[in-house]
Structure 1
Amino acid sequence: MADREDRAEHEERDGHRGATLGIDIGTSSTKGVLVGPDGTILRTASREHAVDRPHPGHVEMDAQLWWAEFTGIARELIESAQVPVTAVGVSGMGPCVLLTDEDGTPVRPAILYGVDSRAEAEIEELTTLFGEQEILARSGCVLSSQAAGPKVRWVARHEPETFARASRLFMPSSYLAFRLTGQYVLDHASASMATPLYDTAALDWHRPWAEVVAPGLELPPLQWSGEVAGTVSAQAARAIPGLAEGTPVITGTVDAWAEAISVGATAPGDVMLMYGTTTFLVAITDAPAPSRSMWVTSGTTPGTFTLSGGMASSGAITGWMRELTGNADFSTLVQEAEASGVGANGLLMLPYFAGERSPMHDPSARGVIAGLTLSHTRGDLYRAALEAAAFGVRHHVEALREAGVRIERMVAVGGGTQNELWPRIVSDVTGLQQEVPRRTVGASYGTSMLAAQVAHGTDTTSWNGIDHVCTPDAAAAAQYDELYRLYRDLYPATREITHALAARQHSA
Structure 2
Amino acid sequence: MKYVIGIDLGTSAVKVILMDQQGTIAQEVSKSYPLIHEKSGYSEQDPETWVEKTKEGLTELVQKFQGNIKDIEGISFSGQMHGLVLLDKDKQVLRNAILWNDVRTTNQCKQIYDVVGTERLLDITKNPALEGFTLPKILWVKEHEPQIFEKAVVFMLPKDYLRYRMTGNIHSEYSDAAGTLLLNVGEKTWSKEICDLFELNINFCPPLVESHEFVGQVTEELAHETGLSIDTKVFAGGADNACGAIGSGILSEGNTLCSVGTSGVVLSYEERNDRDFSGKVHYFNHGKEDAFYTMGVTLAAGYSLSWFKDVFAENEPFEVLLDGIEAIPPGSNGLLFTPYLVGERTPHADPAIRASFIGMEGSHTKKDFARAVIEGITFSLNESIEIFRESGKEIARVISIGGGAKNDTWLQIQADVFNAKIIKLKSEQGPGIGAAILAAYGAGWADSLKGIADTFIQPEKTFDPIPENVEKYKQLFNLYKDVYNQTKSLNEGLRDFRK
TM-score norm. by structure 2 comes to 0.94
Q: Structure 2 CA distance, aligned partners of 1:232 and 1:37?
A: 21
Q: CA deviation at 1:290?
A: 3.1
Hey, what's the Cα distance between the residues in 2 that align with 1:99 and 1:443? 25
1:315-330 → structure 2 map (5 Å cutoff): 315-326=302-313, 327-330=315-318
1:164 CA drift (Å): 1.0
Query: 1:132-211 maps to which residues of 2 (within 5 A)?
Result: 132-195=118-181, 197-211=182-196
State the 1:442 CA deviation.
Answer: 2.4
Tell me by how many angstroms 1:126 deviates: 1.2
Distance (whole Å) between structure 2 residues aligned to residue 117 and residue 390 of structure 1: 23
For the structure 1 residues 503 and 406, does the alpha-carbon distance in structure 2 shift closer, same or farther, using more than 3 Å as the test?
farther
CA contact (8 A) 2:115 2:197 kept: no
Which of residues 384, 388, 396 is equivalent to 2:372? 384
SS in 2 for 1:386: helix
Give 1:258's match in structure 2, choosing from 243, 257, 269.
243
For residues 47-73 of structure 1, give each alpha carbon's deviation from its aligned partner in whole angstroms, at most 9, with x where no partner exists: 122211111111111100110111110
State the partner residue of 1:481.
474
Partner of 1:350: 338
Q: Residues 275 and 182 from structure 1, CA distance in 2 versus in 1: closer, same or farther, beyond 3 angstroms?
A: same
Query: Helix, strand or coil: the match of 1:277?
Result: coil
Could you list the per-position Cα deviations for residues 318-338 of structure 1 after superposition, in whole angstroms to 9, with x for gaps in the alignment?
112222233222222222322
Structure 2 CA distance, aligned partners of 1:255 and 1:445?
A: 11
What is residue 272 of structure 1 aligned with on the other side?
257
| Partner secondary structure for residue 295 of structure 2 | strand
**Cα distance in 1, alignment partners of residues 261 and 409 from structure 2:** 14
The answer on 1:26 being equivalent to 2:10 is: yes
Q: How many residues align?
A: 487
* Paired position in structure 2 for 1:61: 45
CA separation of 1:405 and 1:159: change in aligned 2, threshold 3 A: farther
**Offset, 1:82:** 3.0
Q: Unaligned regions of 5+ residues in structure 2, if any?
A: none
Q: CA contact under 8 A between 1:350 and 1:487: conserved in structure 2?
A: yes
Cα distance in 1 for partners of 2:463, 2:301 equals 20
Which ranges in structure 1 are unaligned for 5 or more consecutive residues? Answer: 1-13
Q: Secondary structure at the match of 1:462?
A: helix
Change in Cα spacing, 1:149 to 1:214, as seen in structure 2 (3 Å) is farther
Matches for 1:2-21 after TM superposition, within 5 Å: 14=1, 17=2, 19-21=3-5
1:412 is the counterpart of 2:400: yes
Aligned to 1:7: none
CA distance in 1, matches of 2:276, 2:231: 41
C-alpha deviation, 1:406, in angstroms = 4.1
One-letter amino acid of the counterpart of residue 22, structure 1 = G
Mapped partners of 1:158, 1:105: distance in 2: 20
Match of 2:217 among 224, 228, 231: 231
Letter in 1 for 2:50: W
> Any conservation in 1 of the 2:346–2:383 contact (CA below 8 Å)?
no
Rounded to whole Å, the distance in 1 between the matches of 2:185 and 2:199 is 18
TM-fit CA distance, 1:265:
1.1
Q: Which residue of 1 aligns with 2:85?
A: 98
C-alpha distance after superposition, 1:235-290 (max 9, x if no partner):
2222322x111321110111121111111112122111102222112211011333
1:430 pairs with 2:415? no
- Among candidates 486, 494, 497, match of residue 490 of structure 2: 497
- Say whether the 8 Å CA contact 1:269–1:283 is kept in structure 2: yes
Q: Does 1:71 align with 2:59?
A: no
Residues 210, 403 of structure 1: CA spacing in aligned structure 2 closer, same or farther, 3 A cutoff? farther
* Native 8 Å contact 1:433 1:469 kept in 2: yes
Residue 403 of structure 2 aligns to which amino acid in structure 1?
G
In structure 2, C-alpha distance between the alignment counterparts of 1:142 and 1:451, rounded to whole Å: 32
Distance 1:328 1:161 in 2: 47
**Secondary structure in structure 1 of the residue aligned to 2:124:** helix
What is the letter of the counterpart of residue 87 of structure 2? Answer: T
Report if the CA contact (8 A) 1:136-1:290 is conserved. Answer: no
Q: CA deviation at 1:103?
A: 3.4
Name the SS of the counterpart of 2:443 in structure 1. Answer: helix
Q: 1:453 aligns with which of 434, 438, 441?
A: 441
TM-score, normalised to structure 1, is 0.93
Q: Is 1:41 the counterpart of 2:25 in the alignment?
A: yes
CA distance in 2, matches of 1:339, 1:49: 36
- In structure 1, what is the Cα distance between the partners aligned to 2:429 and 2:121? 36
1:156-179 CA-to-partner distances (Å, cap 9, x unmatched) read 111000111111111122112211
Give the drift of 1:415. 2.5
Q: Tell me, what secondary structure is at the counterpart of 1:446?
A: helix
Who is 1:6 aligned against?
Answer: none
